[in-house]
């Protein structure tokens, strides 16, 4: 039996222009009159914190850590795949329990999965969200890896017809907000290994089962909206050969003794996901370097030692029956990423 899928509102319907439906949850809580007046600069520009970096570098962790340290902070997602409702494991949405009660906006709120969100639409939606957050005396934190969206939101003048990351010297340094940029960076040799390990962990956490439920044989080859998420097209060929509705085993990680051809198809799909994830990370880093070259004042935070310690801890856990503590890598994170970030934000707000 073939899977069925819900119908969704059109991006071009009155209910969805420009992404206004993204503002329906969570609501901004009202702040009392004692809220710190921290959201305007001397130039009368709204102050916002912008956390950037390649996929998997710890942006979400840092944003939540900062939001708990600066309690009037609220987070706006700027990852284009995480805008959509669905595929939470595949798109690496931060789980609810890891958000620590911090309000997140434009995260998983978009039900229209078969349409792309344009940078101009995101600029409108994020601009409204920032204004709503600030109107209640709170501090906006813009977080995500989609640098084209970040650029569209922040620049003073935005031309939707121009791809600023392909043309020479087309990135503007004139911004409509007063921004504190935090760039979480990890040495490529460490980050690439971590990203490959993360794919394995995502699969062990249910990514294959999630993709099996999402698979639609009538949409194979369609690359639009949420179907652009890494993992969807890579497993389309696998599910075409081994449809999940023909056998429950087709939607689970192959075990020892399973059909060899199915196992090889699975391994090939996983290899493609790892390759494409690394390609995405390299592309993101390249765009960040272009923004920095254009004059964006990005404070670089080196998380290499943190990730090296984290991977070492996981390696020890695999080779030992006794799980080792997270204290080492968390201590390094606090010292080399979190503390410099807190100091930078505090100076910025003062």
Last residue within a domain, chosen from 252, 277, 302: 277
- Distance in angstroms (rounded) separating the CA atoms of residues 239 and 215: 7
Tens place of pLDDT for every residue, the chain, 350 residues? 333 323 333 333 333 444 544 444 444 433 333 333 344 444 689 999 999 999 999 999 999 999 999 989 999 999 999 999 999 999 999 999 999 999 999 999 999 999 999 999 999 999 999 999 999 999 999 999 999 999 999 999 999 998 888 877 678 889 999 999 999 999 999 999 999 999 999 999 999 999 999 999 999 989 999 999 999 999 999 999 999 988 888 888 988 778 899 999 999 999 999 999 999 999 999 999 999 999 999 999 999 999 999 999 888 877 765 556 678 899 999 999 999 999 999 999 98
Say whether both 198 and 122 belong to one domain. no
Cα–Cα distance between 189 and 304 in angstroms, integer? 9
Residue that terminates a domain, selected from 277, 311, 326: 277
Report which of 49, 40, 45, 46 is spatially closest to residue 73, judged by C-alpha positions: 49
95 contacts 162 by C-beta, under 8 angstroms: no
pLDDT value at position 250? 84
Is position 82 within any domain? yes
Q: Are residues 181 and 94 in the same domain?
A: yes
Question: Are residues 147 and 90 both part of a single domain?
Answer: yes
CATH code, domain carrying 123: 3.40.50.300
Are 173 and 296 contacting, i.e. CB atoms less than 8 angstroms apart? yes
pLDDT of residue 327: 83
Q: Are residues 121 and 255 in the same domain?
A: no
pLDDT on residue 216: 95
Residue 24 lies in a domain: no
Q: Let me know if residue 32 belongs to a domain.
A: no
Within this chain, do residues 212 and 319 fall inside the same structural domain, yes or no?
Answer: no
Out of 277, 307, 336, a domain closes at: 277
Same-domain status, 178 and 197: no
Residues 56 and 148 in one domain: yes
309/181 same-domain check = yes
What is the reported pTM?
A: 0.86
Q: How high is the pLDDT of residue 171?
A: 85
Tokens read off for 247: 């056998």
pLDDT of residue 17: 42
Neighbouring CB atoms inside 10 A of 267's CB total 12
Whole-number pLDDT of residue 23: 42
Q: Is residue 26 part of a domain?
A: no
Structural domains counted in the chain: 2
Give strand pairing partners of 183. Answer: 52, 300
Note the pLDDT of residue 324: 60
Does residue 196 share a domain with residue 182?
no
In a domain, 13, yes or no: no
Q: Quick check: is 34 in a domain?
A: no
Do 167 and 267 lie in one domain? The reply is no
Query: What are the backbone dihedrals phi and psi of residue 281, each rounded to the nearest 5 degrees, phi first?
Result: -60, -45
CB 329 within 8 A of CB 335: no
Do 219 and 91 have their domain in common? no
SS3 11: coil
d(CA 14, CA 148): 25
Q: What is the extent of the structural domain holding 213?
A: 192-277
Q: Answer whether residue 256 is part of any domain.
A: yes
**Helix, strand, or coil (residue 255):** coil
Q: Do the beta carbons of residue 120 and residue 86 sit within 8 Å?
A: no
Question: Could you tell me the CATH number of the domain that includes residue 196?
Answer: 1.10.287.890
| Whether residues 290 and 257 fall in one domain | no
């Amino acid at each position: 039996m073939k899977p069925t899928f819900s119908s969704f509102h059109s991006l071009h319907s009155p209910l969805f222009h420009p992404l206004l439906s993204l503002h329906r949850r969570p609501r901004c809580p009202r702040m009392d009159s004692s809220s710190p007046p921290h959201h305007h600069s001397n130039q009368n520009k709204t102050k916002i914190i912008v956390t950037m970096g390649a996929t998997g570098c710890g942006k979400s962790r840092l944003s939540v850590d900062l939001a708990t340290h600066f309690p009037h902070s609220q987070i706006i997602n700027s990852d284009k795949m995480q805008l959509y409702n669905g595929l939470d494991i595949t798109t690496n949405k931060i789980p609810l329990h890891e958000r620590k009660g911090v309000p997140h906006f434009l995260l998983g709120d978009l039900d229209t999965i078969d349409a792309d969100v344009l940078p101009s639409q995101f600029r409108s939606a994020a601009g409204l969200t920032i204004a709503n957050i600030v109107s209640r005396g709170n501090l906006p934190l813009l977080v995500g890896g989609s640098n084209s969206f970040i650029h569209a939101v922040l620049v003073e003048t935005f031309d939707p017809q121009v791809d600023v990351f392909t043309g020479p010297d087309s990135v503007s340094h004139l911004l409509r907000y007063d921004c504190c940029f935090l760039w979480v960076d990890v040495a490529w040799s460490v980050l690439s290994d971590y990203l490959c390990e993360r794919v394995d962990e995502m699969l062990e956490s249910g990514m294959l089962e999630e993709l099996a439920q999402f698979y639609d044989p009538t949409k194979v080859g369609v690359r639009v909206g949420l179907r652009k998420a890494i993992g969807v097209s890579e497993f389309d060929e696998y599910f075409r050969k081994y449809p999940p509705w023909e056998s429950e085993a087709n939607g689970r990680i192959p075990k020892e003794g399973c059909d060899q051809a199915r196992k090889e198809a699975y391994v090939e799909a996983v290899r493609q996901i790892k390759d494409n994830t690394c390609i995405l990370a390299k592309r993101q880093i390249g765009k960040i370097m272009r923004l920095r070259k254009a004059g964006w004042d990005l404070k670089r935070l080196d998380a290499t030692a943190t990730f090296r310690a984290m991977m070492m801890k996981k390696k020890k856990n695999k080779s030992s029956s006794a799980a080792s503590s997270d204290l080492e890598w968390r201590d390094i994170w606090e010292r080399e990423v979190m503390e410099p970030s807190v100091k930078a934000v505090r100076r910025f707000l003062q």
